[in-house]
Amino acid sequence: MIEITAIASSSKGNCYRVTDGTTPLLLECGINYREIQKALNFRMSEVAGCLVTHEHGDHCKSIKDVLKAGINVYASRGTVEALGINHHRINPVVAKKPFKIGTWTILPFDVQHDVSEPYGFLLANQNGEKLLFATDTYYIRYKFPGLSHIMIECNYSMEILKENIIAGKVPKVMRKRLMQSHFSLENVKDFFKANDLSKVQEIWLLHLSDNNSDEQKFKREIMELTGKVVYVPG
């Protein structure tokens, strides 16, 4: 059974622990290493690997400490090159080529973000459960049958963004950057409509913007659309 723990989920830093009951993994390491240690009760030796989606600091801040702790890191070659880290525990992975970590089979896939080679990940365990992890993208071109757990960015709402620009709270220039790098509530809804959610047990909305989101609104609207349990980590 898949268990998800959100250690951090915001523009300040992102880090999640997922386990199928046998193989615990970190998804991102974008906060201070000490915070990750505390959240995992200092049992870092149990972590079988860390998946990193791209090179922005709020997703890989403590990557050097993670490597130092003896944890293998998996990311695209573009991300590895952008980070400029040479370490024997870094494993470059290739989009659409599955790899294994313990009891997980993981399929990286390309997403759309303003970095060199960002990935999302589809994780499948031996019980047939499938977890989709996608963050920092404005569009997902693929469909995923048989998902049981979805962890997906829901960064902002076009409606709230427009209101903030009119009110002068957000500079106009931010609009273009957000639209070309982050998943909006509207695009997340389109993604859900395009995919078969019949086996989905829970949905996690990640990486909400500090200024351009509304946690209660996002949660309510996605619950109404999907009929699923929705979590929004703080």
> pLDDT grade, residue 22 (50/70/90)?
very high
pTM: 0.94
Give the residue, 175 or 122, on which the prediction is more confident: 122
Nearest to 57 by CA among 82, 93, 24: 82
Res 145: pLDDT: 96
Give all strands (DSSP E) within the chain, no chain letters. Answer: 3-10, 13-19, 24-27, 50-51, 73-76, 90-93, 99-101, 104-110, 119-124, 130-134, 149-153, 202-206, 229-231
- Domain residues for 136? 3-231
At 198, which CATH number?
3.60.15.10
Give the model's pLDDT for residue 32. Answer: 97
The tens digit of pLDDT for each residue in 125-173 reads: 999 999 999 998 888 999 999 999 999 999 999 999 888 888 988 888 7
CB 209 within 8 A of CB 183: no
Task: Report the domain count for the chain.
Answer: 1
Question: How, if at all, do strands 3-10 and 13-19 pair?
Answer: antiparallel
